[in-house]
Amino acid sequence: MQNKPTLSLDAAELRRRAEALLPKKRKARRAEADGLKSAADTQRMLHELQVHQIELEMQNAEIQECWDRNGVLLEKYTDLYDFAPVGYFSLDGQGRILEVNLTGSTLLGVARSRLVKQPLPRFVALPSRPVFLDFLKRVCAGDGKLVCEAKLQKEDGTLFWASLHGASVYSSETPQKGCRVVVSDITSLKQAQETQHRMEVLAASNEELKREIVRRQAVEEALKKSEQHTGELLEQARHMQVQLRDLSHRILQVQEEERKRISRELHDEITQTLVSINVHLDSLALASKINPGSLRQKIIQTQRLVEKSISIVHQYARDLRPTALDDLGLIITLHSFLNDFLKKTGIHVQFTTFAGVEQLNSDRRTVLYRIVQEALANVAQHAQASRVKVSIHKIADDVLLEISDNGQAFDVERALQAKRNKRLGLIGMRERAEMVGGTFAVESVPGQGTMVRAQIPFNNGTLVKRPSARRVKLAKTRKQ
């Protein structure tokens, strides 16, 4: 809108300046004509007209200068308004466009002349329209300067994000309130924010991926260890299968050898004794007819042979299964066995135990007896020891059996892992201890002898399978 120019000089100043510009010659002529009254009046009138003419010329120059200055200001205002980097929209209370700069028309893609009287909400995309209408209502109501973001649509259908800054205004030309809205294109900013968000999401995904990689590497490492452990277990299982197969074969061999021994002993001792009894009976029948006096002596000899047969049968029974273990208990049975061991080998045995061992069930007492029996058999055959110590004592909830000798040492590991054992020996003792949930260990040190330990649970309830302990010290090898 162009404003009218205003004069900056008053009439007195104009007159003063006009009089100063009159030539001095006219003043001289006016002085010469003062004598004539009519000439003086004419001259004075002419002077007034000339001064007024000069005043008019100065006013005209002043007006022209104001017009020029206002033209420059108007041009600057037009440049600032039309070519501003944002769009300026003047709206009425219904949101119709009253004025718009070139940048605003360029943002909407519509000529400025066509935008006037058009409703600005028409150019707001449907998803953003409720937000924009609420914004426009609050701005026109005078809620102060407000800001909102909305997606606008150009006339060709192109969408772009816009930031809208609004403030209410009151025009003297219209009684109702209006507002001015500044619109700026923030599509690039939104794209940058979206890109930043995507980068953050991507960074978070990368971090999650790194953690997943670390986790999978840990799982892979655990799987490798598990595979290695499984391989070791399989190898141990194969080794144990081989040992079990060898043990089964050896059990059959031992059973067969024991049967041969029992058959041979029965044939050599019991059969001969029974034949002798039969011969004595025949002689008794003959002596009763020929010499009745010698009959008593024959009967006594026959009774001795019968007693010997009974003793031999009892000895076989004790070797196979000592009935005293069930009838009299573990302590008395071990005392009897150790006394017989001393008589047969001459090796002195020191035996200590506790009364509570008799509370073990039959299977556990049998395991302890057989381990002592087998260990002392090994001592008698291989150790060349002069004394043996056998002790049974309670440790927490377990019973610990220890058998130590002062004989020769041997390579325990080789004896345990031998594929072909000539005897059940250590493997048999270990299997018996593990059968009742216990552990078995052997230590053999040169100059210190051998220590056999078997630890079994004291509780007679449910058994817990325990790993077999193998504490091994390499020593001088003896045949086992």
Instruction: Provide the percentage of residues in the chain whose pLDDT is more than 70.
Output: 71
Q: Which of 24-28, 241-245, 366-370, 407-411 has the highest mean pLDDT?
A: 366-370
Instruction: Provide the percentage of residues in the chain whose pLDDT is more than 90.
Output: 24
Q: What digits encode the pLDDT tens for the residues 92-104?
A: 888 899 989 888 8
Q: What is the mean pLDDT of residues 320-332?
A: 78
The pLDDT mean for the chain works out to: 78
| Minimum mean pLDDT range among 127-131, 145-149, 223-227, 432-436 | 432-436
Fold identical between 87-185 and 324-480? no
Q: What is the mean pLDDT of residues 45-55?
A: 82
CATH architecture of 324-480: 2-Layer Sandwich (3.30)
Under 8 Å between Cβ of 369 and 331: no
In sequence order, what are the residues at sequence separation of 6 or more whose Cβ sits closer than 8 angstroms to the Cβ of residue 356?
394
Indicate the residue type of 262.
Answer: I
* CA pair distance 82, 322, nearest whole angstrom: 122
- More reliable by pLDDT, 102 or 28: 102
pLDDT at 320 over 70: no
Q: What digits encode the pLDDT tens for the residues 156-179?
A: 889 999 999 998 886 555 556 788
- The vertex-95 CA angle with 90 and 96, nearest 5°, equals 70
Q: Residue 8 — pLDDT band, cuts 50, 70, 90?
A: very low
Q: What is the mean pLDDT of residues 356-374?
A: 89
Q: Residue 42 — pLDDT band, cuts 50, 70, 90?
A: confident
Q: Which has the closest alpha carbon to 165: 49, 95, 86, 100? A: 86
In sequence order, what are the residues at sequence separation of 6 or more whose Cβ sits closer than 8 angstroms to the Cβ of residue 251?
424
CATH architecture of 87-185: 2-Layer Sandwich (3.30)
- Tell me what pLDDT residue 449 has: 87
Which two three-digit tokens encode residue 347?
């090796």
Q: Residue 422 — pLDDT band, cuts 50, 70, 90?
A: very low
**Taking the model in full, what pTM does it have?**
0.42
Under 8 Å between Cβ of 380 and 365: no
Which two three-digit tokens encode residue 342?
């001393």
Q: Which has the closest alpha carbon to 455: 444, 443, 469? A: 469
Domain boundaries, the chain: 11-82, 87-185, 224-320, 324-480
Under 8 Å between Cβ of 360 and 399: yes
* CA pair distance 70, 1, nearest whole angstrom: 11
- Tell me what pLDDT residue 458 has: 87
